Amino acid sequence: MTETVPTPAPGRPLRLAIIGAGPAGVYTADLLTKAERDFELSIDLFDRYPAPYGLIRYGVAPDHPRIKGIVKALHKVLDRGDIRFLGGVDFGTDLTLEDLRRHYDAVVVSTGAIRDADLDVPGVDLEGSFGAADFVSWYDGHPDVPRHWPLTAREVAVIGNGNVALDVARMLSKHAEDLLVTEIPENVYAGLASSPVTDVHVFGRRGPAQVKFTPLELRELAHSRDVDIVLYPEDFEFDAASEEAATTNNQVKTMVGTLTNWLMEQEDRPGTASRRLHLHFLQQPVEILGADGAVAGLRMERMELDGTGNVTGTGEYTDYPVQAVYRAIGYHGSPVPGLAYDAGRGVVPNEAGRVLDEAGAVVPGVYASGWIKRGPVGLIGHTKGDALETIGCLLEDQPGLWTAQDPDEQAILDLLTGRGVEYTTWEGWLALDAHELALGAEATATGPVERERVKVVPREEMLAVSRRDPVPAEARVLEPAR
């Protein structure tokens, strides 16, 4: 890595590059613009995708009502005009860290975590064994994944007890026509509509008091039409730590109460739905069973609580006849070109957001925020607090930052153009946003339900729409969520 010599603060706006236009990147930019400081700022927000919003656009199930509020908040930040969005730029390919050092005084990496965490059990590589992150990318219309997903299983297992596990289970079990009111892409609707699924099993390693999903996520399961939720009395065992959590922690109390009520009401429900969503607790995957190279079952070991909320194995095994397995045990960050990488945690090594090199020394002027900084944990509130810590370090370091050799705002655009990078802008996103809304209006006029938007999937189409003439000022009322 090139050595830099700290110099006095430049007599011009401080030029800052942020890599990643998801919540972490946008919040970092927004909070920095609002921070108390004695210098001007010029911020460029880069993303590898032509559209902004990162994980909110490509990592959250389309039927989540809270998405609209988050997208609207992010939209307002970027629509102010004081943060420049440059999409379709792949860091490490289109731009390097050395490029950014020449054009910016500081860099913040907010690239998130998009890979599935590994599950180390036999059979994980069988046909029909999937990572949840890949499935989420497919149903969210990610531009860089295949358009087709093999939905051929009647019985499916989802391993994990977090929000992503419930998202995946809900999307698999929900009837496709009930998703038409969302921004679901046409190819995703067609795939889900052809699914023969009848049973989706969600497995958690610990008990109902230790689940990682939220009450909102749990309650959304009950909103699926013609889907019965199935619970098992033997899973509702509570040790001392579980009982304490269920009485002292309001979130745990809510979730345990909801699950317990569902279990009690189950006896009085007719159970006539065409699809069933089974919630299993105290079960750990041992092996994905195969036949002819494809998933044919899942072997689980019964666990028991040990008094502290943790679990130990009982040596009792059950085989479930499933034809597909989805691993939803967490996300993992990817290496960032030019920076050190902690492969175990999936993060860029850092101290409070200051990026470290392989030897543990601070890399001058380079920072991290979001999941690539702290790992894939926490909700939106954590992301804001995390960004505040990072920008606090940046502001503290500002007098000693290097001075960019070519800080002119046009220079980075000339560099991208010279390299043949078809970058997009905020005006381009407004054009794509309006286009997706227009597709929704067209689908509403010709289809059975009202559709707010239809998401464009192919990268080439996204680029073509985004790089047309800018959206007129009067069209800016078409926000992505209302």
Residue 269: per-residue pLDDT: 80
Instruction: For residue 314, give both structure tokens.
Output: 């009982």
In this prediction, residue 471 carries a pLDDT of: 45
Indicate the pLDDT class of residue 7, thresholds 50, 70 and 90: very low
Nearest to 45 by CA among 63, 68, 22, 75: 22
Cα–chain-centroid distance for residue 245? 28
Q: How far is 362 from 374, CA to CA, in rounded Å?
A: 16
Least confident of 90-104, 176-190, 287-301, 367-381: 367-381
Q: How confident is the model at residue 378 (pLDDT cuts 50, 70, 90)?
A: low
Contact 351, 181 (CB under 8 A): no
Calculate the average pLDDT of the chain: 91
Paired tokens of 113: 């975590």
Distance in angstroms (rounded) separating the CA atoms of residues 123 and 64: 32
pLDDT digits (tens, 9 = 90+) for 105-164: 999 999 988 888 889 999 999 999 999 999 999 999 999 999 999 999 999 999 999 999
Rounded to a whole number, what is the largest CA-CA distance in the chain? Answer: 74
Q: What is the pLDDT of residue 472?
A: 46
pLDDT digits (tens, 9 = 90+) for 387-429: 999 999 999 999 988 789 999 999 999 999 999 999 999 999 9
Q: What is the pLDDT of residues 62-74, one digit of tens each?
A: 888 777 788 899 9
Q: What is the pLDDT of residue 332?
A: 83
Residue 482 pLDDT class (50, 70, 90 cuts): very low
pLDDT tens digits along 314-353: 999 999 999 999 999 988 889 999 999 999 899 999 999 9
353 class by beta-carbon count within 10 Å (0-12 exposed, 13-18 middle, 19+ buried): buried
CB 134 within 8 A of CB 178: no
Q: Which residue segments constitute the domains of the chain, with CATH numbers given?
A: 14-114+333-423 (3.40.50.720), 115-331 (3.50.50.60)
- List CB contacts of 263: < 8 A, sequence separation 6 or more: 231, 233, 236
pTM of the model: 0.89
Phi-psi region of 335 (alpha: psi -120 to 50; beta: other; left: phi over 0): beta
User: What pLDDT does 229 receive?
Assistant: 96
Separation of alpha carbons 476 and 482, rounded Å: 13
